[in-house]
């Protein structure tokens, strides 16, 4: 029990630190995806594409059977909370502002919180299991 908790805690700490570093490098490049039409929907789409692209490797690693985490989706949720949501908490006052800044900040928090656990859940369903059990045939059976 304690070793799985320590393993999960280390995965959350390392994952959150690396995800924060990747996000701080990748998110400023979002406007370059659609430079010709910087409307609000295209910027949200570009931001979502960047968030999915930077979360996908983390989801595959967390969902991998080699780590053998007890609850990989919960670990991914904590990685997202500590790596992406906590650093933007000082700008949380934008959520209550009227108009597009409030909507944009709320959508960003939803994306930051939900994309990594969702991708981890999808990766768990997509990756093959690590079950190597092979039953032995009974003696004398044909």
Residue-wise pLDDT tens digits, 70-102:
889 999 999 988 888 888 777 766 667 677 777
140 falls within a domain: no
Q: Identify which of 12, 9, 14, 23 has the alpha carbon closest to the alpha carbon of residue 87.
A: 23
131 falls within a domain: no
The total of structural domains in the chain comes to 1
Question: pLDDT digit string (tens) for 12-33?
Answer: 888 888 888 888 887 777 777 7
Phi, psi of 132 (to 5 degrees): -105, 20
pLDDT of residue 112: 86
pLDDT of residue 115: 92
CA distance 74 to 96: 28
Q: Where in the sequence is the domain holding 49, given as residue range(s)? A: 2-126
Which sign does the torsion angle of CA 85, 86, 90, 95 carry?
positive
137 falls within a domain: no
135 falls within a domain: no
71 falls within a domain: yes
The whole-model pTM stands at: 0.76
């Amino acid at each position: 029990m304690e070793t799985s908790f320590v393993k999960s805690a280390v995965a959350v700490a390392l994952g959150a630190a690396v995800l924060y570093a990747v996000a701080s490098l990748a998110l400023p490049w979002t406007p370059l995806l659609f430079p010709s039409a910087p409307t609000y929907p295209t910027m949200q789409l570009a931001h979502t594409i960047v968030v999915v692209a930077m979360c996908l490797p983390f989801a595959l690693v967390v969902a991998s059977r080699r780590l053998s985490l007890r609850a990989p989706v919960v670990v991914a949720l904590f990685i997202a909370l500590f790596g992406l949501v906590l650093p933007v908490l000082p700008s949380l006052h934008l959520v209550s502002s009227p108009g597009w800044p409030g909507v944009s900040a709320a959508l960003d928090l939803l994306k930051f919180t939900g994309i990594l656990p969702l991708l981890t859940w999808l990766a768990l369903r997509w990756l093959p299991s690590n079950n190597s059990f092979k039953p032995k045939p009974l003696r004398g059976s044909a």
